[in-house]
Structure 1
Amino acid sequence: MANPEHLAELMKGVESWNEWKSIHLINPSTFSGTELREALQNGIDVYSLPFRADLRGADLEGIDLNHIDLCWADLRGTNLAGANLQAANLMKTDFCQANLSGAILSGASLQDAVMTQADLNGAILIKTSMIQTRLRGAILRGANLKQARILGSFLEDVNLKKGVLEKADLKGSKFKNANLNGATLEGADLRASNFCGADLEEASLRGANVRSVKLCDANLNRTDFRDAHHLTWWTVRDAKNWKKGIYDTAFGKMLAQIIQSNEDED
């Protein structure tokens, strides 16, 4: 339920609200989703919400909050399906179990954000900055993360089936046990990332930089490594179904020789 005092101030107009907010909302608040919608409808400035604004469980489906500053906000369990958060400041924001399916987060900053078990099905995160972001167990089926910066982030057990990570910077990120079936990682920078136990069946890593990538127990059935940079025998040797991967002709011949040598030794 909306805070009656907040709504009363909102109804007084833009200048009154902004003055009142600067005095009364400097500490963590319970600024609700209803109040947020009311403010937007009345032209109120909400683009610098109270520090650590509490919007837990709010229904903000389809809301337009592009360029908003929600740094440190609590959005656990919030419904932001189809919302526009383009270029928003979402650093250290808590989206745990939030619904962001179909949301637009292109160009947003999600550094140190918590998105554990969030629903990001079909979300658009083109050129999004996700440094040290926690996405364990998140659902990102068909999400578009083209050219995103996902550095040192935690994506264990995420569902990125048919996700698009083309030319994304994924250095040092952890994708352990992630579902990347049919995902596109063409031209991505995967240096020092961890895909142990991940399902990469029919994923495309064409032209990706795979230097120091960990693939132990990863499923490489029909994984496309053509034109991949720094691909070696040591990259794939501890993975599952590496024999069924798709490789450049020269690399494929080298693997065939290794297989033949092992068979001869047996």
Structure 2
Amino acid sequence: MTTRNGRTVRDLRRENRTAVLQRLYFDGPTSRFSLGPATGLSSGSVSNVVAELVAEGLVEEAGSVDSAGGRPRTLLRITPASGYMIGVDIGETRIRIELFDLTLTELARTERPLASSGPRTARYDVDLVVGHVREGIAEVLRTVDVPAERLLGVGVGVPGIVAGDAGDGAVVHGQTIGWDAVPFERLLRAAVELPEDVQYWIDNGAKTLGQAEMWFGAGRGARSAVVVLFGSGVGACVVTDPLGPGRAVEWGHLTVRVRGRRCRCGARG
């Protein structure tokens, strides 16, 4: 069945489920009564969606709160163990791999140091990085004894620009680390022992930081923000939609001190 604006009943159902899950995910335990105004859905729609999500194990009851003159209202929350996610940060000095439950509670963490001396291109050797990620993912899953089949996805923050390719997935262009159109997603899928249906989300590290700040950090409640990342380089994420992806901005090769130290590009200052 298609509605007047071209959306199907399945589309509307998916949008309603998304609206409820977003509010429970970002706002914490909430009652059915409060979900109506927060999502713009009718009480009947909220009840139907919540019943589906509870039956599927994605949502559970989390106590109750007193209401004004009525009986206590039951609180709902995301079921933590209904799924798991892995986050990977490929940084300047180390690669960090973390395992989270569906509420983003950290369950396990491991780090793989990168060489502190020598050429940056050697430090970020593609095979070396892929190997570190493979070993780190296996370690965090083993630490908490989580089956790989329970993973919903793996998010990876990388230095450089990420482009999508129909055949190779995420392709990384990282001038500062010597990566020229590296088919990083394809390499990870070939090396990491995970089910084929586990999704990889690979993006610029500044963008992933900016999104995290908007969702859970200093940007919560703001409609737009600029999140700046200082390291051996300077990056930033410009966010204009709290729930949408940000835009990465890279600053570099600006002379800040005449005849200053030599940059990796060969210029001074």
TM-score when normalising by structure 2 = 0.18
Q: Give 1 or 2: higher helix fraction.
A: 2
Q: Give 1 or 2: higher strand fraction.
A: 2
Q: Which has the higher contact order (CA 8 A, sep 6+)?
A: 2
TM-score when normalising by structure 1 = 0.18
